[in-house]
Chains A and B, each alone.
Chain A
Amino acid sequence: MQLTGAQALIKSLEQQGVEVVFGLPGGAILPVYDPLIDSSIRHILVRHEQGAGHMAEGYALATGRPGVAMVTSGPGATNIVTPIANAHMDSTPLVVITGQVASGSIGTDAFQECDITGITMGITKHNFLVKSAQEIPRAVAAAFHLATTGRPGPVLIDVPKDVTQSMMDWWYPSTIEEYDLPGYRPDVPLDEDAIARAVALIDAAERPVLYVGGGTLKSRASAELLAFAERTKMPVVTTLMARGAFPDSHEQHLGMPGMHGMYTAVTAIQRSDLLISLGARFDDRVTGKIPAFAAGAKVIHVDIDKAEFNKVRHADVAVQSNVAAALLAFDAASATPRNLDAWWRQIRDWQERYPLVYEEPSIDGLLRPQHVIQAIAAKAEPGTIIASGVGQHQMWASQFWKFEEPGTWINSGGAGTMGFGVPSAIGAKVGRPERTVWCIDGDGCFQMTAQELVTARAEGIPIKVAILNNAYLGMVRQWQEMFYEERYSEVYLSADLPDYVKWAEAMGCVGLRATNLKEMHDVIEEANKINDVPVVIDFRTDSSEKVFPMVAAGASNDDIMVHPLQRGASK
């Protein structure tokens, strides 16, 4: 069968089981948009290519399947660089297709030419510049294989216009050998010796902590984690990237560690004698000052990526494996720590003394952002998916929402990309249309990518957006208040400019506002009734509210600052 390169590209995506592509056309990718009309693949036309990338990420995080985005050359391609970098930091499987100028024009500074494979070399797992139409099926198959196996990540395919316009004999690789990836071997056999040494460390542990990272979600190891944790009775912490990997309602769950982690999660790690890292990477937002991090603990480091071992923290035992297989191996060897009663008594004491707290909201005063999140949660259906931007609201969402299952927390961790919330929520809703999707957003973040609500309205994707409008780039304001003597520099945004209700309405969404407690409950109820169009709520919150607990950047986790309400109480 003779096909054009463009037809082969679409057919290859169909072969991969792609159900949706997020994108926006332009000159260099034009040939590919023609056969798309006749394809079963749904295309979602975004308003900015950054939106396409984050939607693909939200889709991937919510479904566990790779997200696909397609854009044109030059500025179309550079507009999607931020999501690619974001997906790279968070190991999110993406396949991004970019149009390129015709092969003969490459290197001539042709109209809308840009070296996107060069630009994204350091922020993709791999990228391809396809040289001939005949190679398209191989490139697509290899891209999906790379994006989804081993440590997942974004893969970019750059396709020159003449390649999509020329003819090829249709074929599709049927074996991995045909992908022609001689240097890629994602499956490593379990190192039995490492497992034995890990089991010995577990057997000797008196104060162990299971330090659960995003890799646990990526390897779909939640069931194995639950079984292992319950059998061994070990306390569990889930990082910002792993929220949902272990139920928040579980009594062994101490919550999130790190800069804005729960006091008990942070302190239990600090006092532990064994840290079992499961797909986590000792990020500086978790470790604080590295030499002071869990200084008395031995470390078992389980990761599929061997370059993570000893990168930040010395691993006493390194187990190169996906998390699920390693946990099964620990279970098979009946790894069991010592009696943990004393450890749990200590942990319960910390929990009792330092729970998450915030000041009571007053009847007519400004809303407390934490309270707004809890009020939304109280009325949300089980299984609701939460997306967020980056800033204070993100930390509060992670702290105060109770995550019970994988794929319910859509968030930008490693890159901390403002504007991630709205488009990623849209992508999540596309992937899991039966679920309610709330985006807990900041006023600053909302303004970066809000235009995608036009996409959401046009495509019938009814997400709900709660703007925690504190009139500030709040997280930066918090640092300036605490570490720059309240010298506020370029962080004020205004609560009224823009008018978020009118803006929402202009984008075809329902716009609501709440300035006090009564209105807060009313608008949440109203929003929950709307299921056909997107809803945006402008919650007016107290600007002076800060995120606690907090470990200052570069400080030791031992110097964690608890909420002012808890200060004075002895640690």
Chain B
Amino acid sequence: MTASVTAAFAPAGTRSRGPARLGVLRRLPAQRLVLRGTSLLASLAAWHLLANGKVDLGIVSFRNVPTPIEAAQAALALFRSPILWPHLGASLVRVMMGFLAALAVGIGLGVAIGRFRLARDLLLPPLEVVRPIPAVAWIPLAILMFPSSELSMAFITFTGAVFPILLNTVHGVETVSPRLVASARSLGAGRAAILREVILPGATPSIVTGAAIGMGTAWFCLVTAEMISGQYGIGYFTWESYTLQNYDNIVVGMLLIGLLGMGSSLLVRGIGSLLTPWAALGGAR
């Protein structure tokens, strides 16, 4: 039933047994922390030099790029004004809707595919065809399919989040030891109990990894999704700043999306490690 991992189906970015790592920074030695901090500062300095000097390299020009200080000032101004919050709220709702739907669908289909050969044969081919389609390509169809633009935007973020969750769920289900299943059956567990008591908990660490990656890609697809929107959203705000020639705010919008994506991924990992306290003990097989 649980055959080996199909090569084509090996999830990207999965550590085979990756308990969610939240306190990465705390565990790093000071020397490496310094190194990382320096790298961050150097990037900022490079940005500053390029933007401040309005460097024009012919194929790429920094003439219209705001400096880090200008961006920071714009960010500060934005946080003080009431403009930002409706944008943020709208984006959060869309990402949450898309992500939660992806969680339900990804885990549901992933368990079915990982566990039952029939489901694998029936579901995998169409999914493999749909998977490489980028979020932008979904826009026209999403507009046609969904009555409200809110739903079509949530759908776009959904397409981004669902595949990492699905693939990692399949992977997690497949790596549950068959001997664990055999033990459970000898202890009186039926089909449903095995799914609930063995397969799902066994796959949870991998599902958490998938969810964290999916959360990241959901934010990733947000800007694309919000091209549909007429008025609100961080992605929309970023695009609008361009059309309004408010170049400082473009960078603020971009950084906000990056930070929110990273933050919510960390949140998912945090919740994940609360759900799987045993995974951090190691030797959990």
The finding on whether chains A and B are genuine partners in a shared complex, rather than unrelated, reads no
- Chain A interface (Cβ within 8 Å of chain B)? none
